[in-house]
A = this chain, B = another copy of it.
């Protein structure tokens, strides 16, 4: 009986692919094992249990999400960065709704949980999308939270099938991003403050 050559990373990848297909709530050790051609208890050599597995999926998902946004806004700024980053986030969630759900369900287990780094990478990605707008430093945290709210809200609704049978969702999404873009430019205009917009460093507190 030859070995399958599994690692924690292999198992996590397979589980992430699984939940993207069947949904995060359908995650089961047995299904993952079957997909890997291995008996159920074998997985416990690589992950400590189902919660650990879900946690690893979450870390993977957040890192991939951050990568996707980073790649999408390479060198762009302002309106263009916002539009491209938002679309990147949206398509990532659409293609990987299972692992995104895992990420939403996950909570950091401690101060040095790798999940925190992954989450911070995503928050940094969102912050980068706002760089081009010269936002009053006092309002940066609010703008960032709004962006997170909108992106998360739209993504999770679409992933969960919230927008039933509607064919023009794409239009609504771009309309919404436009709406935010205009509003942010307005905000900038009113604030005559031209300080060099030091990068917001939100950390875990978002």
Which of B104, B157, B160, B182 is A148 in contact with, Cβ under 8 Å? B157
CA distance A150 to B69 in the complex (A): 20
Which of B145, B149, B160, B163 is A104 in contact with, Cβ under 8 Å? B160
The answer to whether A164 touches B105 (Cβ under 8 A) is no
The answer to whether A156 touches B152 (Cβ under 8 A) is yes
Q: How large is the interface on A (under 10, 10 to 19, 20 to 34, 35 or more residues)?
A: 35 or more
CA distance A149 to B149 in the complex (A): 8
Q: How far is the CB of A122 from chain B (nearest CB, A)?
A: 11
* Interface mask (A156-186 → B, CB under 8 Å = 1, otherwise 0): 1100111111101001100110011011001
A36 CB–B CB distance under 8 Å: no
What are 25 inter-chain pairs, A to B, with CB distance below 8 A? A25-B105, A104-B156, A104-B160, A104-B162, A105-B160, A107-B161, A139-B175, A141-B172, A142-B175, A145-B163, A145-B172, A146-B150, A146-B172, A146-B179, A149-B150, A149-B153, A149-B154, A150-B153, A152-B156, A152-B162, A153-B153, A153-B156, A164-B205, A165-B204, A179-B187
